[in-house]
Amino acid sequence: MSTELERTVPVTEEAELERLVGDRALSTDDHKNAPAFVVRPDAVQDVLFDLRDEAGFDHLSCVTAQQYEDRYETIYHLKKYDDPTQEVSVVVPTSTDEPVSQTAEPVYRSADWGEREAFDLVGIDYEGHPDPRRILLPETWQGHPLDLSYDQDKPQLVTLAEHANPLQEDHRDAETDTMFLNIGPHHPATHGVLHVKTVLDGETVADVEPDIGYLHRCEEQMCEQGTYRHQIMPYPDRWDYTANMPNEWAYARAAEDLADLEVPDYAQVLRTMGCELSRMAGHFLALGTFALDVFGDFTAIFQYAFRDRELAQDILEDLTGQRMMYNYFRLGGVAWDVPEPREEFFEKTRDFLDGLPTKVEEYDDLLTGNEVFQIRCVDTGILEPEIAKQYGCTGPVARGSGIDYDLRRDDPYGYYPELEWDVVTEDGKDNYSRVLVRMQEVEQSAKIVEQCIDLLEEWPEDDREIQSNVPRTLKPDPGTETYKAVENAKGELGIYIRADGTDTPGRFKIRSPCFHNLSTLAEMSQGEYVPDLVASLGSLDVILGEVDR
Amino acid sequence: MSNQPRQAIHDSTAPSTDTRDSRMGEGVDDRFNSRLREAFGSTPFILTKFDKFMNWVRGSSMFMLQFGIACCSIEMMHTYAIKHDLDRFGAGVPRASPRQADVIIVPGTIVSKFGPRMKRVYDQMPEPKFVVGMGSCTISGGPFQEGYNVVKGAEEIIPVDIHVPGCPPRPEALIYGVAKLQERVANGETSPVVVKPYELEEFGDLPRDELIDKLAAEIDEEDLVMRYNWADSP
Ligand code: SF4
């Protein structure tokens, strides 16, 4: 069965890790998901280099920063691309008076943006960081909002300087003949509110810098204010708002791990089915908007994609009562069983699935078989797998570069291991491959949904348990920490939660796949034409709600 | 078909001759009648106030700005797209440039960094212009109302004519909102003037205080800035 791991990755035992880190570890910490080593702020690179090169931890999944009463702390969550169940965390405490810590950027490129975010929101300085600026909040912001002493009522000032006319004289460089061009934040091709600072040499892109934060809605703060049981679940729906349901699973998985909750099998099947339908909806939207980006097709493909997305949304609305913000997961289960009459629901879903092959053919004719489309996409926006790994890319973006990495199979959860499906990869490394991956993933998702429907239909009536026993107020033990990730439509969506003994999390950190995927934009488009930059951006399929959180 | 005698082709022109005849015949041809024409009666003239006529025209042909912010914009796209098809109501041509648009649908959460940009986009639209606020976020900040970075509703920055509540509102709700706006425009109603606490101002014009002094080294006197007094927000 394809869903089983065929690879044999050497397992690094904890003892070996301990030997490797040696006496650079001040102590060890007990995270629920992985062993954690506490190291001195000036030994960060040393330890990380060893873990990467000697033990093979080539994926810096997430950088979490937080403040305690007596110290600041940065946590580097490491994984292996070949086997993400092997994890290790490196914890770096720094003093409150002088929160300075060595940067991890030379070891993992993905630490660049990760640490900028940590500086921006929490206020830790990273020594040696190549670009120590704010990333989400405006440059002129005062204070660091997730700092314990932050006063939210203080006035703030935001400038509009970047909006100077791009064609004015001083945007031309007299010596090198380049021109500076702002794309966004209000621009039809940026998929929302993204600002791309571009330097052009003729039609060629000389330099690109995505400027994000135009949709930074304080999701982490909101989640830290909500109670575990019910108040947090609505927020994940609003991270990746094109394929909403898989996000709920990220929170559910982390919180269930934190509080040791069981989920009944029947609920797992429902979850799996809902998530895959939602993933399909997200991929349809990605296809439609991508076609819109590369050849301005607002009439045919865009509308076709929306037609199919509507169908998927209709089914999900029957299941959850909502078109987009499902809020369907509950800790320990789901909110509802499939609607009565069940047969009708199953029939409707089957109709949708039966119609898909014809539609996929249609997409192939219209889109991937289209010569204009191919000229725009084949061999543009090349993303080499080594670079993708360095930047922490996951999801269809990584799989389009031939990285065989899918948490549904590699770090199994839910009902996925029980079902027959394949992880799709393409070796083209270009914009075209990423589209192909998404199209094929739609078919794979359909396969999964079909099996779920069969299972649900045959499930014995007296065993349809949708929710396990969960205490009314959840108060995980103080100091419990966990980091868990799931595969959402864009890649690895991870959640770090630290419990502080109350019914709300002490720290809630979101590892967003789009954030990391977007950071490769410069690598992909430098030296290419401007239109290819737009195509690359479209093929990354970033959702700004998830990038900025 | 080429093996048919030419006569057949000749025949085929007959109907159009009929049409021409009937057009030239007495009275008004039925086929060219419309409900509007019927309403006018036998004389194709109406007497109306110019303002009224303009309002009616404005309401019946709206150019929307293609403007996406957050989750609500996905439902907005659904409203434009197949099935809901806002175009049926004479309001479905999204314009990419604010200079060609008369209606801006604000579909999502506005955060501090985006506030000045949205104001700028709004300012670039030619008069008369109308605003539909879509979703709870544009009413109060919605689910993110308590966020340190979230503007508590679109009305803090630009005037809003129609609020469509929901998170996100269904496409039907947005259509209803747009239809209501059309109705109001056609009736010549204007929206009440609201207090807009957050304005774009030159940095040099701001009253000096601790924050301004701190930033004085970084920001030019002439730079446009928006100052958020969070403590005064609703
Ligand atoms: S109102 Fe709800 S759906 Fe709309 S932008 Fe705000 S959070 Fe998103």
CA of B142 from ligand 1 middle (Å) equals: 7
Domain final residue pick, A70, A97, A127: A127
Determine whether domain B50-186 maps to CATH 2.60.120.10.
Answer: no
State mean pLDDT over A328-337.
Answer: 88
Q: Is residue A466 part of a domain?
A: yes
Please give the tally of structural domains in chain A. Answer: 2
Residue of B nearest to A220 (CA): B147
* CB contact (8 A) between residue A310 and residue B230: no
What is the C-alpha to C-alpha distance for residues A507 and B195, in angstroms, rounded to an integer?
37
- Domain range list for chain B: 50-186
Range of the domain at A123: 14-127
Indicate whether A237 and A123 sit together in one domain. no
Measured between CB atoms, does A214 come within 8 Å of chain B? yes
Residues in chain B with CB shorter than 8 Å from the CB of A307 are 81-83
Q: Give the range among A351-360, B10-19, B49-58, B135-144 with minimum mean pLDDT.
A: B10-19
Q: Tell me: the pLDDT tens digits for A348-400?
A: 999 999 988 898 888 888 888 888 888 888 888 888 888 888 898 998 999 98
State mean pLDDT over B115-119.
Answer: 88
Q: Tell me: the pLDDT tens digits for A190-245?
A: 777 888 888 888 888 888 888 888 889 988 888 888 888 888 988 999 888 888 89
**Max Cα separation, chain A?**
78
Q: Is the pLDDT of residue A46 over 70?
A: yes
Return the higher-pLDDT residue of A351 and B191: A351
For position B1, what pLDDT does the model report? 45
Q: Is residue A485 part of a domain?
A: yes
List the single best residue of B80, B149, B152, B214 to mutate versus A (max A Cβ within 10 A): B149
Domain final residue pick, A76, A102, A127: A127
Q: Tell me: the pLDDT tens digits for B162-187?
A: 899 988 899 999 999 998 888 888 88
Measured between CB atoms, does A314 come within 8 Å of chain B? no
Q: Is residue A184 part of a domain?
A: no
Measured between CB atoms, does A504 come within 8 Å of chain B? no
What is the C-alpha to C-alpha distance for residues A193 and B133, in angstroms, rounded to an integer?
17
Q: Is residue A212 part of a domain?
A: no
Cβ atoms of B150 and B123 within 8 Å: the answer is: no
List the single best residue of A158, A306, A508 to mutate versus B (max B Cβ within 10 A): A158
CA of A123 from ligand 1 middle (Å) equals: 29
Q: Is residue A178 part of a domain?
A: no
CA of B155 from ligand 1 middle (Å) equals: 16
For position A495, what pLDDT does the model report? 92
For position A3, what pLDDT does the model report? 46
State mean pLDDT over A474-492.
Answer: 88
State mean pLDDT over A248-270.
Answer: 89
Indicate whether A346 and A474 sit together in one domain. yes
- Tell me the CATH number at A80: 3.30.460.80
* CB contact (8 A) between residue B230 and residue A155: yes
* CB contact (8 A) between residue A158 and residue B111: no
* CB contact (8 A) between residue B215 and residue A157: yes
The candidate with the shortest Cα–Cα distance to B189, out of B147, B115, B99, B128, is B128
Across all residues in chain B, what is the average pLDDT? 79
3-state secondary structure chain B: CCCCCHHHHHHHCHHHHHHHHHHHCCCCCHHHCCHHHHHHCCCCCCCCCHHHHHHHHHHHCCEEECCCCCHHHHHHHHHHCCCCCHHHHCCCEEECCHHHCCEEEECCCCECCCHHHHHHHHHHCCCCCEEEEECHHHHHCHHHCCCCCECCCHHHCCCCCEEECCCCCCHHHHHHHHHHHHHHHHCCCCCCCCCCCCCEEEHHHCCCCHHHHHHCCCCCCCCEEEEECHHHCC
Indicate whether A416 and A538 sit together in one domain. yes
List the single best residue of A193, A239, A302, A307 to mutate versus B (max B Cβ within 10 A): A193
Return the higher-pLDDT residue of B2 and B138: B138
Q: Which residue has the tokens 């089957």?
A: A350
Residue of B nearest to A144 (CA): B148
Q: Give the range among A102-106, A392-396, A443-447 with minimum mean pLDDT.
A: A102-106
For position B19, what pLDDT does the model report? 56
- Tell me the CATH number at A438: 1.10.645.10
Domain final residue pick, A88, A112, A127: A127
pTM of the model: 0.85
Q: Tell me: the pLDDT tens digits for A397-414?
A: 999 888 888 888 888 888
Interface confidence, given as ipTM, is 0.85
Indicate whether A100 and A243 sit together in one domain. no
Q: Tell me: the pLDDT tens digits for A59-77?
A: 888 899 988 888 888 999 8
Q: How confident is the model at residue A30 (pLDDT cuts 50, 70, 90)?
A: confident
Measured between CB atoms, does A166 come within 8 Å of chain B? no
Residue B108 CB less than 6 A away from ligand 1 = yes
Indicate whether A261 and A114 sit together in one domain. no
CA torsion A497→A500→A506→A508, rounded to 10°?
10
